[in-house]
Every structure is written in C-alpha cells, then in structure tokens.
Amino acid sequence: MRKSILLLIVLLSFRMATYAQAYEGKMDYQKTSQQVAIIELPYKTSIVEDAIKDYMNKRGFKSSSSKGFDIFRGAKLDSADQDPSDLYFKVDRKKKEKDYSVITLLVTKANQDILSRPAMDSTGQTDKAKAFLNNLVPAISAHNVDVQFADQQDVVKKAQKKMNNLINDQSDIEKKIRKLEADQDQNKTDIIKQTNDIQNTIGADDNVKNKAQKKMNKLLDEQDNLRKKLRKAQADLDENKTNQEAQQKELDNQQQALEAIRAKRTN
C-alpha cells in the first residue's frame, strides 16, 4: 500500500509538472511594477532553488544573490538570442501549499539596472522568459526525483539497519537461551547430587542436616529463577521474530518504493 501511494505521488507530481505552463505576470520591485514570467510547480522551494542552480551551473553560469533574487548574469534565453541577459530568479512558497513553489523570472539586458527596464516589454523577452521557464520544468522534475531517490535510499538503509539489529538481537537471545538451558541442566544435576547427600546425612547431627537442606533450598530457588529467565528469554525471542516479520515487510515496501523511483529516473 505504501509503495502504491508513493508511486502515485511521484507520478502525480510528474504529470502536474508536465502540464504546468509559464504565464506573464507583474512583480512589485522598489515601488515599481515589473513585467515577469511566472510558473507554479508542485515542489518544495529548496528543491526548485537547487534545481535551477544545478541547471544553470551545468551551462557555465554561477549565481549571485541580491534582494531575494538568485541572479545569473550574461545568459541567453534561447539559442536565437543575439545579446546576453541577466536572469533574476525568485522562488516563493505558494500560499497555503507548502510543497508548491512559484518561480518568478525577471529578465534585463546584461548589467542593466532593474529600475531602468521599460514598463512594457516590446522586445518579446517576456515570451522568451516564459519559454525558458517551460524548458526548465523537466530539469526541475528530474532533480526532484533524484532527491526523492536519495531520500528513499536513506529510508531503505535505516530499515535494513533496523532489520540487521533485530537479527543480531535474535542471535544474542538464542545464545542466552542456550546458556540458561545449560545452567538449568547443571542445576538439575546438582539437585540430584544434593538429594543423595541429604539422604546420606540421615544419621548426622542437626547442623549437618541444616547445611545440606539449606544448600538444597538454594539449588531449588536457582532452578525456579532459571525457569523464569528462560520463559522471559523465550518471550523475547518470540517477540523478536514477530518484529523481524514486520520489519521485513517494511523493508520490502521501502525497497519497492525505491525501485519505483529508480524506474522513474530512467524514463
């Protein structure tokens, strides 16, 4: 069930990202209204920010930060661009949807001050900015899947570690049971021997008899104590095996979820 739910979330996120389209919008900047391109995607802001940086870094552009923007200078919006531009990215969490991000892209000419931009875009840069955001979607989606894969790997490792601990605990408990059973067998042998010793003290004085009986009582108490310890150890072993069965199912589910994400990465 958990595998199916996770797979559904992955597929749903991918479909939502696939159908997301950038649109033109406005952004307030230092008492001005700036024309921008905007797109909304079903990913956390940290995922989107890292994905954009990774996408741009692979293309040779390093970011700088200023006034809430991640800025990539001297980039081209498409292969037909004759002149480079400065790309100002701003990623915000969508209101009331913590796992949804709003990406705003403001484009200026290289080294142009934002406030000197014309109020209206007459060069088609906004349309290019929208296309640029649309082209970013697959990269962001792929980065999100990579993060999910890494996170799920950690979940599987933790589940496997817990399983290994349970297996080690089982081994320790079984050793403890074998030791208790050996102690119990030795105690039974000692009781038989002590029974014979008591019979041999029939003609002895009371002091000798009392010592023999005291030793017998101690052996009997120890036998009772060993039985209790054995019952407790066996109960621990039974519980351990039950926990192992449950943990194995959990491990299988998490491994299946990992394979589902792995398959998503290869598509």
75 lies in the same domain as 182? no
For residues 92 and 103, what is the distance between their CA atoms, to the nearest angstrom? 7
Instruction: Work out the angle between the directed axes of helices 2-19 and 125-199 (0-180°, nearest 10).
Output: 170
The amino acid at residue 136 is: L
Q: For residue 99, tell me if it sits in a domain.
A: yes
Residues 123 and 68 in one domain: yes
Instruction: Identify the top-confidence range among 13-22, 28-37, 76-85, 244-253.
Output: 244-253
Q: Which residues contact 247 (CB under 8 A, 6 or more apart)?
A: 159, 162, 163, 166
Quick one: which of 116, 132, 160 has its CA closest to 253? 160
DSSP 8-state class, residue 79: T
* DSSP class of 86: E
First to last CA, the chain: 23
Q: Which residue range(s) make up the domain with 233?
A: 153-266
85 lies in the same domain as 122: yes
Residues above pLDDT 90, as percent of the chain: 75
Same domain for 162 and 226?
yes
Look at 69-73, 75-79, 223-227, 248-252 and tell me which has the smallest mean pLDDT: 75-79
**68 and 32 belong to one structural domain:** yes
3-class secondary-structure state, position 75: strand
Beta carbons of 173 and 240 less than 8 angstroms apart = yes
Looking up residue 123, the CATH number of its domain turns out to be: 3.30.530
Helix H or strand E segment including 56: helix 45-57
> Considering the domain boundaries, does residue 142 fall inside one?
no
- Is the pLDDT assigned to residue 104 strictly greater than 50? yes
* Separation between Cα atoms, residue 17 and residue 262, nearest integer Å: 18
Q: What is the DSSP string of 7-30?
A: HHHHHHHHHHHHH---EEEEEEET
Residue 43 forms part of a structural domain? yes
> Do 182 and 78 fall within a single domain?
no
Number of separate domains in the chain: 2
Q: Is residue 148 part of a domain?
A: no
> Do the domain assignments include residue 10?
no
102-120 core/surface letters (b: 16 or more CB in 10 A; e: else): bbbbbbbeeeeebeebeee
Q: Is the pTM of this model over 0.85?
A: no
* Residue range 116-153, pLDDT digits in tens: 888 776 677 889 999 999 999 999 999 999 999 999 99
42-101 per-position pLDDT tens digit: 999 999 999 999 999 999 999 999 889 999 999 999 888 888 999 999 999 998 888 899
Which three-class secondary structure state does DSSP give residue 88? strand
Distance of alpha carbon 148 from alpha carbon 146, whole angstroms? 5
The answer to whether the CB of 45 falls within 8 A of the CB of 92 is: yes
Distance CA 194, CA 216 (A): 6
Mean pLDDT along residues 246-260 = 97
Residue 54 lies in a domain: yes
- 64 and 160 share one domain: no
19-28 residues labelled b (16+ CB within 10 A) or e (exposed): ebebeebebe
Q: Is 5 contained in some domain?
A: no
Whether 2 is in a domain gets the answer no
